[in-house]
Each structure stands twice: as C-alpha cells, then as structure tokens.
C-alpha cells in the first residue's frame, strides 16, 4: 500500500505514462549495451555513428564487420573494445537462435524465461534485460538505474544495503506489473529533479510523508 501511495503521488507530480515501444528489442539491446558505464550524450553519439557506419544499422553488416571497424564506430561511448565484442556475439546468438536478427520471439516466452535468455548473453545483466523487456516488449520487468536505486532506498521501499541487482526483484514484488512503466519513469524524473545525490531537495518533495530519509533528517538533533 505504501508503494502504491508513492506511485500515485508521483503520477500527480509527473503524470501517468502510457506504454509505447521505444525501439525494436534488438536495437534496444544494442543501445543499452552502448549505454553501459557512460552518459546519455556519449551513448547517443555512439549509436548515431553505428547507424551511419553500418547503414541503419544493418545487423548483418555489424555482425560480420571486422571488430576494429565496430570499435571505431562506437568509440564515443567508451569501453568500445568490450562493447563491440559483446554486440557482435549477441548478434551471432540471436541469429543462431531464430534465424533472423529479431528478439520478437521473447514476446511469447514466460517473462522469467525471457529474462534468463537475455541474461545468458555476455554483458547483459538484470538492468539491461529489464530495459529490453519493459521498453521494447511491454513485458513485466522493472529496470533499476542509479536514480531508481537511490530514490527507492531513501524512501525505504528497499533496504539501504540492497544491491542494484537484488533491487530489481524486490521492486517488482512491491507493485502490480501494469504500474512498472510509469513508476520507473517517474522515479527517474524524481531522482533527477528532486531526490538528487547531494543535496536532495527535500523541501520540494511531494513524498516527504512517505520517506524514511526525510523522517531521519528532520528528527535528527
């Protein structure tokens, strides 16, 4: 009930969000690999260069290209050598699995099986898998990024010592799946605008009465 109260307060502040696919699932997977250990600006530069260098991108060309050519294309995103190898291996696995460059087959798997399939790919952890499932396929998964992790711990929705990996399952258990999309987006918005790392803007926060962190700060001598 507390989590639902927080969800409703965030909707009042940031709005409700109807689900819509952002990219096809394979493109989302590659984009999310590019986003690892970098910021959105550098991720987007790497993605743009990938599209320009490989025509679309054409996944056959990306998979078959010399790894160094892919490294050069995605270099602005950082860790290009590692990411290039992971992207090419993921494309080979997808092609071997279903004979085409598509992850649409995951729509028809039970959600946990789809998550497990994605996570057997090199470099794909709970966050990357959840992003692909939620944002491209509309499957019940709750991605946990830096903002979601920080805000949910401060609120007391998850224990303060909860790892990001474990937080995915704990947060999924708190709310019905139909709320995941809006709740995820609104926690991110709140983390960027109000519940910042240092200092949080507690005086502007609509979640004061629900927040363990605010209660501790205001009760301190």
Q: Is 127 a catalytic residue?
A: yes
CA atoms of 134 and 181, how far apart (whole Å)? 7
The pTM (predicted TM-score) of the whole model is 0.94
Q: What is the pLDDT of residues 183-198, one digit of tens each?
A: 999 999 999 999 999 9
Check pLDDT > 70 for residue 218: yes
Q: How confident is the model at residue 220 (pLDDT cuts 50, 70, 90)?
A: low
3-state secondary structure at position 188: helix
Q: How confident is the model at residue 15 (pLDDT cuts 50, 70, 90)?
A: very high
Segment 109-126 shows an average pLDDT of: 96
Contacts of 145 (CB under 8 A, 6+ apart): 127, 188
CA atoms of 85 and 178, how far apart (whole Å)? 35
Q: List, by residue range, all CATH 1.10.340.30 domains of the chain.
A: 25-137
pLDDT score at 219: 85
Contact 57, 49 (CB under 8 A): no
- Decide if domain 2-16+143-219 falls under CATH 1.10.1670.10: yes
Q: List, by residue range, all CATH 1.10.1670.10 domains of the chain.
A: 2-16+143-219
Percent of the residues in the chain that have a pLDDT greater than 70, as a whole number: 99
Q: Which two tokens stand for residue 9?
A: 């307060």
For the chain, the farthest-separated pair of C-alpha atoms sits apart, in whole angstroms, at 65
Query: What's the alpha-carbon Rg for the chain, to the nearest Å?
Result: 19
CA atoms of 7 and 9, how far apart (whole Å)? 6
44 vs 2, 78, 90, CA distance in Å?
36, 12, 20
Q: What is the pLDDT of residues 34-77, one digit of tens each?
A: 999 999 999 999 999 999 999 989 999 999 999 999 999 999 99
9 vs 102, 130, 210, CA distance in Å?
38, 24, 10
CA atoms of 181 and 137, how far apart (whole Å)? 12
Q: What is the pLDDT of residues 91-103, one digit of tens each?
A: 999 999 989 999 9
- Give domain 25-137's CATH superfamily: Hypothetical protein; domain 2 (1.10.340.30)
Distance of CA 147 to the CA centre of its chain: 11
Q: Which of 61, 83, 127, 166 is catalytic?
A: 127
Q: How confident is the model at residue 221 (pLDDT cuts 50, 70, 90)?
A: low
């Amino acid at each position: 009930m507390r989590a639902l109260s927080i969800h409703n307060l965030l909707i009042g502040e940031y709005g409700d969000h109807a689900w819509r696919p952002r990219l096809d699932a394979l493109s989302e997977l590659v984009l999310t690999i590019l986003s690892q250990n970098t910021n959105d600006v550098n991720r987007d530069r790497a993605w743009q260069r990938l599209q320009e260098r490989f025509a679309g991108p054409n996944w056959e060309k990306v998979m078959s290209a010399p790894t160094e050519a892919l490294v050069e294309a995605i270099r602005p995103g950082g860790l290009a050598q590692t990411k290039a190898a992971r992207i090419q291996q993921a494309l080979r696995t997808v092609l071997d699995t279903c004979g085409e460059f598509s992850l649409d087959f995951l729509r028809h798997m039970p959600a946990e099986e789809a998550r497990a399939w994605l996570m057997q790919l090199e470099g794909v952890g709970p966050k990357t898998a959840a992003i692909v499932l939620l944002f491209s396929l509309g499957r019940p998964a709750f991605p946990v990024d830096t903002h979601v992790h920080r805000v949910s711990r401060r609120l007391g929705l998850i224990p303060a010592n909860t790892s990001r990996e474990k937080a995915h399952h704990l947060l999924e258990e708190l709310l019905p799946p139909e709320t995941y999309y809006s709740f995820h987006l609104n926690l991110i918005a709140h983390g960027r605008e109000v519940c910042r790392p240092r200092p949080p803007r507690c005086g502007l926060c609509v979640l004061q009465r629900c927040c363990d962190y605010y209660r501790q700060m205001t009760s301190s001598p």
